[in-house]
A and B are shown apart, each in its own frame.
Chain A
């Protein structure tokens, strides 16, 4: 479904030039959910933002469903790939009702039966029709993230890109959103690419995880490796250990990895 080959992107110029992602390769099958883990600045969100068309100056090739995508995206290719952002407090327009937020993508893509679609999608993300004319400030964090997921899903995309979808939420709400995401994936046969710094969250939703550090993928993890911690790269091992809570002894062995 998704094939990325030799993807690189740089920001800035002259001596401030930074290569954010170097020679990145990715291949995700249809219906699979793939995770990208790494620390801040590792380039994981940059990959998503380039896929969805926010950045356009990358090099390499990105193929979705066999079709290479151009740097300038067409409406049809945008429709098939939608994104859910990290912070539901920032990603919803504060002066638009849920209905206006959900209708806008339908208007842009000229889709019919707007009212029907809005009500249907609200039901699917677990919000009743009573939420349709509310403003974001009248919703809790978890409900806002449900609206953001509904907005991505209303165009009936095949690929959903999730950029830290639960890191702004409480753990109990996080569980609800993760359950919702995995139910929606099963129901619609969606392909997910999820980015997070939390190994456990990605491990829960995804069956394959790539670990990024400083713009390159250092290791790819399978489900077995997630369970046993049988990992090759030192950085991945540190990340795995740190995800299991505070451990004074293990910490002494940690190194900066350049």
Chain B
């Protein structure tokens, strides 16, 4: 790791280290190269990955857990997670890592929760799957987890089915399910996009607590540059499967890459003006530059 964010060296070895990650899909229309040589390290921090649809941000997140779809191939020079080589781990090792060491929050609780199981049973199951504990103990932990994610009346919510809870509550339940195993790394793929703004903030504050209190590493994948930069410590901006720029989130205004600037400028602002928004111009040359997180874009 070098470049702009190196001024504050990480306190320890990175938990997750990715070098030259490629994801390719073979489709009926030929090979699709979704992620093209992404490199970054994750410590005990909040890392944001921002990009538009098709930028490869979600595929990067999925590749970390080797959850890429069947027609995809992952290649990487290095994909290390606390001393383990994820590239060459067998299916059994991966199963043990998924959920208990690295977990993932999906975008929409409507589709990610099992509709025929009560939410409590699903949380308890995730707990029992990874640790050999009695049912009553699992239920107790699930209830206390529901309380941790600020759900009032956990006893009542425990026996509800997913269709009986609101979107915000469903997302908190997902978070509870993912946190109950106490993972080291959490990958959150658009965890709040389906939620209202105020609920969005509450869900983020929950993730924030987990990073602060448990020393978890968080990868937040989102299309919302403004939101991510106000929440994360560091932001990777992706375009066309490559990392365009790595930013210190507090210095978003100093972003140099024209793509990042373009993304920032085309957002409507609450300033009471109605002028035309600047439209993002894309430059094919951006796709030619090497793609590592080695800092600022050079012109």
What is the interface of chain A, defined by CB distance below 8 A to chain B?
39-40, 141, 170-172, 174-176, 178-179, 182-183, 197-201, 203-205, 207, 223-224, 226-227, 238-240, 242-248, 251, 254
A223 to B271, CA, bound (A): 8
Interface residues on B, range: 35 or more
Q: For chain B residues 165-209, which have a beta carbon within 8 Å of chain A?
A: 167, 196-202, 204-205, 208
Asked if B227 and A172 sit within 8 Å, CB to CB, the answer is: no
Give complex CA distance A174, B279 in Å: 9
A39 to B197, CA, bound (A): 8
Instruction: Report yes or no: B271 in contact with A227, Cβ–Cβ below 8 A.
Output: yes
- CA of A146 to CA of B278, assembled, Å: 18
Please name all residues of chain A whose beta carbon is closer than 8 Å to the beta carbon of B269 when the two chains form the complex.
200, 203-204
Q: How far is the CA of A226 from the CA of B274 in the complex (A)?
A: 12
* CB contact under 8 A between A171 and B196, given known A179-B276, A179-B277, A246-B230: no
The answer on a CB contact under 8 Å between A200 and B205 is no
Cβ of B270: which chain A residues have Cβ within 8 Å of it? 199-200, 203, 226-227, 240, 243-244
Closest B residue to A222 using CB positions? B272
Docked pose: A198 CA to B223 CA in angstroms: 14
Within 8 Å of chain A (Cβ to Cβ): is B215? no
Residues of A within 8 A of B84 (CB): none
Q: List 16 A-B contacts (CB under 8 A).
A: A39-B198, A141-B53, A171-B52, A172-B262, A172-B263, A174-B266, A175-B267, A176-B279, A183-B276, A200-B268, A200-B269, A240-B270, A246-B205, A246-B230, A248-B205, A251-B202
- Whether B223 pairs with A243 at a CB distance below 8 angstroms is no
Q: Is the CB of A175 within 8 A of B278?
A: yes
- Of the candidates A171, A247, A248, the one whose C-beta lies within 8 Å of that of B267 is A171
CB–CB A242/B200 < 8 A: yes
Q: Which A residues lie within 8 Å of B267 (CB)?
A: 171, 175, 200
Pick from A197, A204, A238, A242: contact of B274, CB under 8 Å: A204
- Given that A197-B197, A245-B230 are known contacts, is A175 also in contact with B266, CB under 8 Å in the complex? yes
Q: Is the CB of B201 within 8 A of A251?
A: yes
B226 CB, nearest partner CB in chain A, Å: 5
Whether A39 contacts B268 by the Cβ 8 Å rule is no
In the complex, which residues of chain B have a beta carbon less than 8 angstroms from the beta carbon of A39?
A: 196-199
- How many A-B pairs have beta carbons closer than 8 Å: the answer is 105
* A254: chain B residues within 8 A (beta carbon): 198, 201-202
The interface residues of chain B lying within 8 Å CB-to-CB of A243 are 197, 270
- The reply on B280 being an interface residue by CB < 8 A is yes
Q: Which 9 A-B pairs have the closest CB atoms?
A: A245-B230, A204-B268, A223-B272, A175-B266, A39-B196, A172-B280, A175-B277, A246-B231, A242-B197
The distance from the CB of B268 to the nearest CB of chain A, in whole angstroms, is 3
Q: Is B243 interfacial (CB 8 A cutoff)? A: no
- The answer to whether A203 touches B208 (Cβ under 8 A) is no
Partner of A251, one of B205, B277, B280: B205
| B97 interfacial by beta-carbon distance below 8 Å | no
Quick check: B272 and A171 within 8 Å, CB to CB?
no
Given contacts A223-B272, A227-B270, A246-B230, contact A179 B279 (CB under 8 A): yes
Complex Cα distance A192/B134, Å?
59
- With most chain A CB atoms within 10 A of its CB, the pick from B202, B263, B269 is B269
Q: Which one of A40, A182, A247 lies within 8 Å of B167 (CB-CB)?
A: A40
> Most chain-A CB neighbours within 10 Å: which of B205, B270, B276?
B270
Chain B residues lying within 8 Å of A205, measured Cβ to Cβ, are 268, 274
Taking the nearest CB of chain B, how far is it from the CB of A28, in angstroms? 16
Residues of chain A within 8 A (CB-CB) of B279 are: 172, 175-176, 179
User: Given that A204-B269, A204-B274, A226-B272 are contacting pairs, would A242 and B198 also be in contact in the complex, using a CB cutoff of 8 Å?
Assistant: yes
B223 to chain A: which residues have CB within 8 Å?
A: 170-171
How far does the Cβ of B198 sit from chain A's closest Cβ, in whole Å? 5
CB nearest to A223 among chain B residues: B272
Complex CA–CA separation, A183 to B279 (angstroms): 14
Closest chain-A Cβ to B244's Cβ sits at a distance in Å of 14
> Which among A141, A178, A245 is the interface contact of B277 at CB below 8 angstroms?
A178
Find A172's partner among B199, B266, B271 (CB 8 Å cutoff). B266
Report Cα–Cα, A226/B268, bound state, in Å.
Answer: 12
Asked if A204 contacts B208 (CB within 8 A), the reply is no
Contacts of A240 in B (CB 8 A): 270
Q: How far is the CA of A245 from the CA of B262 in the complex (A)?
A: 19
Cα–Cα, bound, A61→B280 (Å): 44
* CB <8 Å contact, B197 and A239: yes
Closest to A33 in B: B274
Contacts of A204 in B (CB 8 A): 268-269, 273-274, 277
CB distance from A137 to the nearest CB of B (A): 13
Contacts A172-B279, A201-B268, A224-B272: A246 and B227 contacting too (C-beta < 8 A)? yes
- Most chain B CB neighbours (cut-off 10 Å) among A178, A223, A245: A245
